[in-house]
Amino acid sequence: MTEKRQFRAIKGTRDILPPDSALWNWFEQTARETFERYGFRDIRTPILEETELFARSIGVETDVVSKEMYTFLDPPRDLDPIPRMLEKGSGSSVKLSDLAPRDVISLRPEGTASVCRAYVEHGMHTLPGNVKLYYIGPMFRRERPQKGRYRQFYQIGAEVLGQSDAPAIDAEVIEMLLTFFRRAGLTGTALSINSIGDKNCRPQYVERLREELRAVKDSLREDSQRRIETNPLRVLDSKLPEEQPIIEKLPRISDHLCADCRDHFAKLKDELKLRGVAYEENWRLVRGLDYYTRTTFEVTATGLGSQNAVCGGGRYDGLVELLGGPPTKGIGFAIGSDRAFLSIQEGKDIPHLPGLAVFVAWMGAKSYPTAVAIARKLRDCGLSVELPPEEMKFKKSLGLADKLGARYALIIGEDEVASQTFTLKRLSDADQKKLSENDLLEYLESERRS
Ligand code: HAM
């Protein structure tokens, strides 16, 4: 016989157990309700996609694509990391050029690329008005796990796709996000916004930035030095203390926006004020994914340490076209549920969720059929009911009801079955009532609604 072995969840992944899972459901349900009030509808895309979808959308040079994706071949073969596969002369036993793109697949690291792929695949541009979609589900990034950073984490995202890039859309999306956070009890949030320009003005800015960075290259650390050539905007993301004084002196995109982008950003700020949304401008908010244009934003929350971004988002006006669709504007965000949740728990403002309502304490084989029937009727009324599968002694039964946190114990013995009246005991104060079946159902139902 093989030796026994205990298994643990893989590093960076975790189980969400009751009662936390009930809070997660409530959190996600609150998002659904809020987003649907703003006209968004649920979309469910696959967790597996072609790797190339993410490489094209998010960018090959980004950390997410170059270091963090779970990628494999289908059917399985030896596989090098994506950047090595892209390098000429890689020692890999499999060359990217030898493979059909469909053979290389990844676990999704985010949802925007999949939503845009689905938008193109299903010709959703022919739908009337803007297409407003939201999604809830797990994402996968092979990052170094720490508080608030996992390898399997959960996002709640929303995207607006269509012909218009009106700043009112950006502002409404942000208003919806903050409305959700308020309803979910997430306090201490702060919104930062920026505009990173578009294809008309950003390339000149990036070149200017690159030149300035080359001049100070020797004072920068290795990561930033590399980014000067691959993606100089990402240098602005650096958190290294020694790089801060250098970054502060770099040219700012706000001084290099074209007239259209400047106007778009000014209107966005007016629209946010109109909605009473407080924000801070942060010229260094460039975001780590390549598809962004113009508006970028992030929300931070308290109680999270260094991983304090609970939501990131922005505009991605060229992405649908890049994925073979018609010219389309897009904006959206994704909330990191794990982090939002940590922050809510840190704030101790945890909502009280209804638990077990009734424990059916049945005794005697003759009372069992009645107990089964009443348990079903109570469940039909929407109550959470525990029916012990085996007979228990009265004291043990009430003890378990108490430990499970039931609000009531319903006592069904052979006497109760004979008289068709049942004893309902409220466990918080031991108050008892004798009720007929009808009165019992009516009483518990009205209690559930109150
Ligand atoms: P992102 O900034 O990469 O953007 O991720 C959004 C949020 O997901 C982050 O602010 C964070 O709360 C959470 N998150 C990211 N990585 C992890 C992790 N390893 N562990 C826990 N939480 C994490 C996007 O994903 C874009 N798709 C957002 C977007 C939608 N932009 C436009 N539309």
Q: What is the distance in A from the centroid of ligand 1 to the CA of 54?
A: 14
Mapping DSSP onto H, E and C, the string for 351-369 reads CCCCCCCEEEEECCHHHHH
Type of residue at 193? I
Alpha-carbon span 362 to 160, nearest angstrom: 55
pLDDT, tens digit, 9 for 90 and up, residues 31-40: 999 999 999 9
Query: Which atom of ligand 1 is nearest to 150's Cα?
Result: 20
Q: Is 256 in the pocket of ligand 1 (CB under 6 A)?
A: no
Check if the beta carbon of residue 112 is closer than 8 Å to that of residue 57: yes
Check if the beta carbon of residue 153 is closer than 8 Å to that of residue 277: no
Q: Tell me how far apart the terminal alpha carbons of the chain are, to the nearest angstrom.
A: 57
Alpha-carbon span 436 to 447, nearest angstrom: 16
Neighbours of 89 (CB within 10 A): 6
Type of residue at 2? T
What is the β-pairing status of strands 48-50 and 71-73?
unpaired
pLDDT, tens digit, 9 for 90 and up, residues 422-445: 999 999 999 999 999 999 999 998
Predicted TM-score (pTM) of the model is 0.91
Q: What is the distance in A from the centroid of ligand 1 to the CA of 212?
A: 30
Q: Is 34 in the pocket of ligand 1 (CB under 6 A)?
A: no
Q: Which H helix or E strand runs over 140?
A: strand 131-140
Q: Mean pLDDT across the stretch 312-328?
A: 97
**In 3-state terms, what secondary structure has residue 66?**
helix
Secondary structure letter of residue 220 according to DSSP: S
Q: What is the distance in A from the centroid of ligand 1 to the CA of 298?
A: 10
Using the predicted structure, report yes or no on whether residue 102 has a pLDDT greater than 90: no
Q: What is the distance in A from the centroid of ligand 1 to the CA of 153?
A: 9
Query: Which atom of ligand 1 is nearest to 112's Cα?
Result: 27
Q: Is 339 in the pocket of ligand 1 (CB under 6 A)?
A: yes
Q: What is the DSSP string of 163-210?
A: S---HHHHHHHHHHHHHHHHHTT--S-EEEEEE---TTTHHHHHHHHH
Q: Is 231 in the pocket of ligand 1 (CB under 6 A)?
A: no
pLDDT, tens digit, 9 for 90 and up, residues 363-392: 999 999 999 999 999 999 999 999 999 999
Q: Mean pLDDT across the stretch 145-162?
A: 97
Q: What is the distance in A from the centroid of ligand 1 to the CA of 312?
A: 6
Alpha-carbon span 380 to 371, nearest angstrom: 14
Query: Which atom of ligand 1 is nearest to 143's Cα?
Result: 19
Q: What is the distance in A from the centroid of ligand 1 to the CA of 310?
A: 8
Cα-based distances in Å from 204 to 87, 170, 224, 253, 443:
28, 25, 20, 10, 72
pLDDT, tens digit, 9 for 90 and up, residues 45-97: 999 999 999 999 999 888 999 999 999 888 777 656 555 555 544 455 555 56
pLDDT, tens digit, 9 for 90 and up, residues 164-201: 999 999 999 999 999 999 999 998 999 999 999 999 99
Q: Mean pLDDT across the stretch 241-263?
A: 96
At residue 100, what are phi and psi to the nearest 5 degrees? -75, 140
Q: What is the distance in A from the centroid of ligand 1 to the CA of 85?
A: 26
Alpha-carbon span 54 to 69, nearest angstrom: 9
| Mean of the per-residue pLDDT values of the chain | 92
Exposure letters 233-269 (e unless 16+ CB within 10 A, then b): bbbbbbeeeebeebbeebeebbebbbeebbebbeebb
For 364, what's the count of Cα atoms within 13 Å in the CB-facing half-sphere?
Answer: 11
Q: Which H helix or E strand runs over 21?
A: helix 20-37
Dihedral of alpha carbons 350, 355, 357, 358, sign: negative
Q: Is 197 in the pocket of ligand 1 (CB under 6 A)?
A: no
Q: Which mutation among 62, 153, 290 tests ligand 1's pocket best, with the greatest number of atoms within 8 A of CB?
A: 153
Q: Is 334 in the pocket of ligand 1 (CB under 6 A)?
A: yes
Q: Is 170 in the pocket of ligand 1 (CB under 6 A)?
A: no
Q: Is 336 in the pocket of ligand 1 (CB under 6 A)?
A: yes
Secondary structure letter of residue 75 according to DSSP: S
Q: Mean pLDDT across the stretch 118-136?
A: 97
Assigned token pair, 356? 């077990």
Could you tell me which residues are beta bridge partners of residue 161?
Answer: 131, 330
Q: Mean pLDDT across the stretch 225-249?
A: 93
Using the predicted structure, report yes or no on whether residue 256 has a pLDDT greater than 50: yes
Q: What is the distance in A from the centroid of ligand 1 to the CA of 287?
A: 10
pLDDT of 19:
85
